[in-house]
């Protein structure tokens, strides 16, 4: 996920823009989402219209008209404005293409949630002595114990990270310094092996790398964590996106 201008959370997987102050949420259409993600991951570069049509529409780009492309970009800019970002976050460079505005700040982050602890303090008036019946003390203790057990079960369930279903990736080599895993959502892993060969820096020492591919959109997401995020909810992870034609 990405935090834009410290205001808007952009989740490319769910195709959403969320203003984390007002809560305003916008759902992007797939072509607009893919074009915006490509601009986000290529800051400072001017991307041609033809390239973005390939990114946004894939195999259908040859039948996609310029009017369809301009409409998708207009819809994207309207969405950005609705969540509080400048419309020129996506800038048009005459006769060259589109680029991300230089004033746009983008941070990669992994959302985490911490359990909220509520401290209930019983206020006893000064000079007043209160004595609880034994049955009430026992009942309260039992209810508290049940609540703690249920809370522990729910918290443990929450801690079941989304990487728990990932499987170890076998590369046929023992030279990798990191531990590799992949989501079994597609039957072929060759594209992961090509990615690792072309980007050896992903597999640094003591890293845990979780890979998931999206053949329909021709891209791979790599989540690089400092600990095993399948078990450690406090693991710090960064997200990297790669496009099939760049591997």
Instruction: Note the pLDDT tens digit of each residue in 132-166.
Output: 677 677 777 778 877 777 666 555 544 456 677 78
Q: In angstroms, rounded to a whole number, what is the distance separating the alpha carbons of residues 145 and 101?
A: 55
Question: What mean pLDDT do residues 170-189 have?
Answer: 76
CB atoms within 10 A of CB 202: 18
Better pLDDT: 115 or 154: 154
pLDDT at position 20, please?
86
Using alpha carbons, select from 123, 97, 98 the residue that is nearest to residue 89.
98
Per-residue pLDDT averaged across 77-92, rounded?
Answer: 94
Mean pLDDT of 25-54: 93
Q: What is the pLDDT of residue 125?
A: 44
Q: Report the pLDDT averaged over residues 48-56.
A: 92
Number of neighbours of residue 54 by Cβ within 10 angstroms: 20
Residue 162 per-residue DSSP state: G
Domains of the chain listed by start with CATH number? 2-108 (1.10.10.10), 162-246 (no CATH)
Q: What are phi and psi of 153, to 5 degrees?
A: -65, -45
Q: Report d(CA 138, CA 22) in Å as an integer.
A: 45
Of 203, 130, 132, 201, residue with least CA distance to 171: 203
Its pTM stands at 0.50
Is residue 32 predicted with pLDDT exceeding 50? yes
User: How many residues appear in the chain?
Assistant: 247
| Least-confidence region, from 86-95, 105-114, 119-128, 219-228 | 119-128
């Amino acid at each position: 996920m990405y935090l834009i201008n410290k205001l808007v959370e952009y989740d490319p997987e769910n195709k959403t823009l969320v203003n984390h102050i007002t809560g305003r949420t916008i759902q992007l259409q797939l072509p607009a989402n893919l074009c915006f993600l490509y601009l986000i991951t290529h800051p400072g570069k001017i991307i041609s219209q033809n390239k973005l049509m390939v990114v946004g529409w894939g195999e259908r780009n040859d039948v996609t008209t310029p009017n369809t492309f301009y409409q998708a970009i207009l819809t994207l800019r309207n969405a950005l404005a609705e969540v509080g970002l400048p419309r020129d976050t996506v800038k048009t460079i005459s006769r060259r293409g589109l680029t991300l505005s230089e004033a746009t700040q983008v941070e990669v982050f992994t959302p985490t949630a911490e359990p909220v602890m509520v401290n209930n303090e019983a206020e006893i008036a000064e000079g007043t002595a209160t004595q609880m019946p034994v049955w009430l003390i026992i009942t309260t203790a039992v209810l508290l114990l049940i609540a703690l057990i249920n809370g522990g079960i729910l918290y443990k369930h929450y801690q079941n990270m989304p990487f728990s279903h990932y499987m170890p990736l076998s590369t046929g080599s023992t030279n990798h310094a990191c531990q590799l895993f992949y989501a079994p959502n597609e039957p072929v892993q060759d594209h992961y092996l090509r990615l690792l060969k072309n980007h050896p820096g992903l597999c640094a020492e003591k890293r845990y790398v979780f890979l998931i591919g999206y053949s329909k959109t021709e891209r791979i997401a790599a989540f690089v964590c400092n600990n095993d995020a399948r078990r450690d909810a406090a693991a710090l992870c960064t997200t990297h996106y790669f496009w099939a034609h760049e591997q």
